[in-house]
Structure 1
Amino acid sequence: MSNQTKTPEQNDDQLKEKKHWYDRVYRHFSKKEKQTTTILFGGLTMTHDTLIEAALRGLGYKIKALNCPDLTSLQLGREFGNRGQCNPTYFTVGNLIKYLKQLQTEGKTKEEIIKNYVFVTTGSCGPCRFGTYVTEYRKALRDAGFEGFRVLLFQQQGGLKQATGADNALELNTTFFVTVLKSVFISDILNIIGYRIRPYEIERGATNQALKRCKDKLYDAFLNKKSLIPVLLSCKKEFQNIKVDWTKIKPKVSVIGEFWAMTTEGDGNYKLQQFLESEGAEVEVQPVTAWILFLIWEGRFDTNRRINLKQYDRGKFGLEGKKPRQKIFQLSLADRSVRVLFQLYAKLLGLHYYELPNMDELAKYAHKYYDNHIRGGEGHMEVGKLLLNVVKKKANMTISVKPFGCMPSSGVSDGVQSYITEKFPEAIFLPIETTGDGAVNIYSRVQMMLFKAKQAAQKEYEEAIVANKKEQYDLNEQTATKHNFKHVVACSAANVIYDH
């Protein structure tokens, strides 16, 4: 019977029988399951994922870092996900589904996989859609045949909660956070050293081989809870044995943008870091530690703004019933502790003349063009990074990479940054939106801008020769094994001249 022939009473009864959709709450990840359940995660650089896996395994967790997402992951994400999602979501859930299907081919049943595995991912806030996609993950997992698979969500502002329930087996105590932070700091430093040395290595592949040996040593140290200091000093010697040719004039390219897109090293950003190196550039990557410092800065900034109110507000992040000055002190102490520990590990690994970004300075430079109160994604950091790269000659070229349609990052890079490049015409800036397709077009755009960056680096090198009254620069044995020079300009070859 069609609706046209039904009586009003029958239509009312049909509407009453319909049930609204609700997000089903699956069983919890309880503490008793800790020894039998494997935690899956991924999304940072491969170095981070490897060392975080080792750190948490050392704490007694069964944990597995997924491989870097590839185009197969993207295809699976698109197949089982809804339309209109951002790239990180497609790659992330597709990579998870790919691994679960691999477990099936190895003989595990769907029931065993759902019972014995969980997935940890990050959330976000503000206009960033990535933080709202946990439900989309479950939809994709259900359509792929894994309904009931559990997802744990780590919010950037609030900690860990189970997206499918409140209980979880992760013990978020001081030991947990300190251990994870140590692995993050060391991973950042290894990446910075690798990207700094690799473009200038005399023996091709020497840097990657040294990095692999160092990661193996550090994995064992974290897994077996050994002292890190002897291992870090051993890794320092590995890097010191790499001979480099600093007479190669290469532009320094800073990769900024949306967190996931600028951090991943695979098809999610067209393997941008590798491509830039193959085209003769030195890549400056953004450390995950900078994001931690940004979150600490947000807490200090917001508390300082609220502390002068006539009456403390009662909101979720309000100050009523709290001790705001004590909170500011604790956050300042946390900032200082992060920086001290990072620099300690940096020195032990042989990284010198590297400073973590000053968040107050970033905010000050950016505020004129992008209000510090606006949140979501990288916030004002993208603007501040570009400005400092130009004003302080930290990079010859800046690339902002983000998923297609990323609201926080696209609004910044395609809007505010275009105004900044008008104010600072010497800035070489390129915004890139990633879709997983059209790599040739992206590479072509990068090559065109990279030509300008190479000219800028050549100019810096020539100015360094004139300033130091040198007609040419000869590589000697001492310089060939030195990997740290004081910063004067962006081009490393020019900095070598200034340092001699």
Structure 2
Amino acid sequence: MPPIEKPPVFTPEMRENYTILIPGMLPIHFRMLEKILIRNGYKVKILTTIGRQIVDEGLKNVHNDTCYPALLVIGQLISALKSGAYDPHKTALLITQTGGGCRASNYLSLLRKALRQSGYGYVPVISLNFSNLEKQPGFTFTPGMLVQAMYAIIYGDMLMWLKNQCKPYEIIKGSTDAVVERWTDALCEQFESKAFLQVQKNYRAILDDFSAIQRHREKKIKVGIVGEIYMKYAPLGNNNLEQFLIDEGAEPVLSGLLDFCMYCIQNNIIDNDLYGKAFKHRAVNAFLLRYFQRWQNKMIRAIAKHGEFRAPTSFSELKHLVDGVIGTGAKMGEGWLLTSEMVEHIHSGVDNIVCTQPLFCLPNHIVAKGMMRKIKDRYPQANIVAVDYDPSATSVNQENRLKLMLSNARLAEEFGLSSEGEKAPAAPEGETQRETVTL
């Protein structure tokens, strides 16, 4: 067997004339992150393409038993190269990696194999990670860019959180999306200067604009969305789940990306406690965690003070909700965070939950589907459904499972029943269901 050639390198000279393609995941967040990369000298394009052709392209290059998000990401990138919209000889690809113990850590090698198979072996691939998996000399994520990215994530979390509290109730269709679009454009513009640092001013203006949206006060069923990070957020991955729930008369409830970032940092601290890594390593992560929590709490306080919308739960509270449910040593995939998010939804009065899972994703089946029985034993009113996504799964079957969950939710709301058909008891002593977080 001939040896595999070394992969092409993204050099500093390529920054000026190469376009970097990035697969989409969070529409609001990624638009701001795209702007930050452009401002720092990179030519970047976030891909928003959808359609069955992406799945088919992925199936040509990735085994159908491999991680479904990997199949979609690779299919979207290869499809873009074949579209004719980009010169493959002046194009690079970028993917993000956490370096965790799941198949996602193999995305880089899977993508390079797919590129060779498709005749694009000369296209360089950049891995954006903080686990020292690989570095490219022509791409540097500086501390300044990291700070800007943190602001983009917190702004994106806020816009997504408020959007889902307004869109299901809007009287004038499209008015919520118009506010989201206007503020995403405005924040992208602010990253051209230091205006994005005026967070309190921006928070007040954002909250005022969303509260000005004409909404009816009809009560709707709230449905929490949890799962593997790509399936949870990417419309391409979950068949536009948020919009489907809105069309079915429900309000989707989705936690922010910053929680996942802090989860990764918290896991580094846990590793130090379990395996005794260097104290300096722990101190740096503890500082980063406090820094991220501080900014998340500012956003939460701004929402709570405004009074028009429910505020999310802080990560400092979220991480303690799994005490007695699952150990924080369960860190593969979304790990204990996924279980914690399910419990947090129930504590906040969101008893209906959708677990979005790639088929055969062992880590997420354990911390999601594997924990459903334990959660339901503790909270009998919980109405949880696991929806598997893979190349052969039809949207009809997925939607039918979701409609059955919503039907059970409406029955429970009408007759006060649990998901098992029994009278739903009150929350365990000392545990109250909250609509807003107390800070």
How far apart, in 2, do the equivalents of 1:54 and 1:347 lie? Answer: 29
Counterpart in the other structure of 1:158: 131
CA 1:418–1:68 in structure 2 vs 1: closer, same or farther (change >3 Å)? farther
Aligned pair count reads 417
Q: Which runs of 5+ in 1 are unaligned?
A: 1-17, 307-312, 461-487, 496-500
TM-superposed deviation, 1:217 = 2.0
TM-superposed deviation, 1:335 = 3.8
Matched, 1:143 2:117: yes
Matched, 1:425 2:380: yes
Q: Which amino acid aligns with 2:63?
A: N
TM-superposed deviation, 1:204 = 1.8
Q: Say which SS state the counterpart of residue 334 (structure 2) adopts.
A: coil
How far apart, in 1, do the equivalents of 2:156 and 2:271 lie? Answer: 30
Deviations, residues 61-86 of structure 1 (Å, cap 9, x unaligned):
21111115432211111122234212
Contact kept? 1:47, 1:187, Cα under 8 Å = yes
How far apart, in 1, do the equivalents of 2:121 and 2:56 lie? Answer: 20
Q: Which amino acid aligns with 1:211?
A: V
How far apart, in 1, do the equivalents of 2:219 and 2:161 lie? Answer: 19
How far apart, in 2, do the equivalents of 1:383 and 1:69 lie? Answer: 30
Counterpart in the other structure of 1:196: 165
Counterpart in the other structure of 2:238: 269
Q: Say which SS state the counterpart of residue 366 (structure 1) adopts.
A: coil
Contact kept? 1:50, 1:65, Cα under 8 Å = yes
How far apart, in 1, do the equivalents of 2:307 and 2:66 lie? Answer: 42
Q: Say which SS state the counterpart of residue 193 (structure 1) adopts.
A: helix
Matched, 1:57 2:38: yes
Q: Say which SS state the counterpart of residue 220 (structure 2) adopts.
A: coil
Identify which of 234, 238, 253 aligns with 2:223: 253
Q: Say which SS state the counterpart of residue 321 (structure 2) adopts.
A: helix
TM-superposed deviation, 1:238 = 3.1
Contact kept? 2:99, 2:105, Cα under 8 Å = yes
How far apart, in 2, do the equivalents of 1:152 and 1:405 lie? Answer: 27
Matched, 1:448 2:417: no
Identify which of 366, 391, 403 aligns with 2:322: 366
Q: Which amino acid aligns with 1:240?
A: S
How far apart, in 2, do the equivalents of 1:219 and 1:401 lie? Answer: 30
Contact kept? 1:70, 1:91, Cα under 8 Å = no
Find the structure with the greater CA-based Rg. Answer: 1
Contact kept? 1:251, 1:456, Cα under 8 Å = no
Counterpart in the other structure of 2:427: none
Q: Which amino acid aligns with 2:229?
A: F
TM-superposed deviation, 1:119 = 1.2
Counterpart in the other structure of 1:227: 195
Counterpart in the other structure of 1:70: 51
Q: Say which SS state the counterpart of residue 133 (structure 1) adopts.
A: helix
Counterpart in the other structure of 1:330: 287
How far apart, in 2, do the equivalents of 1:330 and 1:208 lie? Answer: 36
Deviations, residues 313-341 of structure 1 (Å, cap 9, x unaligned):
5xxxx22xx53674465245334334245
Q: Which runs of 5+ in 2 are unaligned?
A: 417-431
TM-superposed deviation, 1:90 = 1.3
Mapping 1:27-46, distance limit 5 Å: 27-46=8-27
Deviations, residues 80-123 of structure 1 (Å, cap 9, x unaligned):
22342121111111111121112x2x5x6xxx523x22111122
CA 1:34–1:347 in structure 2 vs 1: closer, same or farther (change >3 Å)? farther
TM-superposed deviation, 1:402 = 1.0
Counterpart in the other structure of 2:425: none
TM-superposed deviation, 1:231 = 5.9
Contact kept? 2:304, 2:311, Cα under 8 Å = no
CA 1:30–1:69 in structure 2 vs 1: closer, same or farther (change >3 Å)? same
How far apart, in 1, do the equivalents of 2:161 and 2:406 lie? Answer: 21
How far apart, in 1, do the equivalents of 2:282 and 2:66 lie? Answer: 41
Matched, 1:398 2:379: no
TM, length-normalised to structure 1: 0.76
Q: Which amino acid aligns with 2:88?
A: I
Contact kept? 2:211, 2:308, Cα under 8 Å = no
Contact kept? 1:188, 1:289, Cα under 8 Å = yes
How far apart, in 2, do the equivalents of 1:180 and 1:350 lie? Answer: 28
How far apart, in 2, do the equivalents of 1:87 and 1:207 lie? Answer: 31
CA 1:328–1:413 in structure 2 vs 1: closer, same or farther (change >3 Å)? closer
Q: Say which SS state the counterpart of residue 235 (structure 2) adopts.
A: coil
TM-superposed deviation, 1:441 = 1.1
Matched, 1:438 2:438: no
Counterpart in the other structure of 1:416: 371
Q: Which amino acid aligns with 1:262?
A: K
CA 1:348–1:39 in structure 2 vs 1: closer, same or farther (change >3 Å)? farther
RMSD in angstroms over aligned alpha carbons?
A: 2.8
Matched, 1:380 2:336: yes
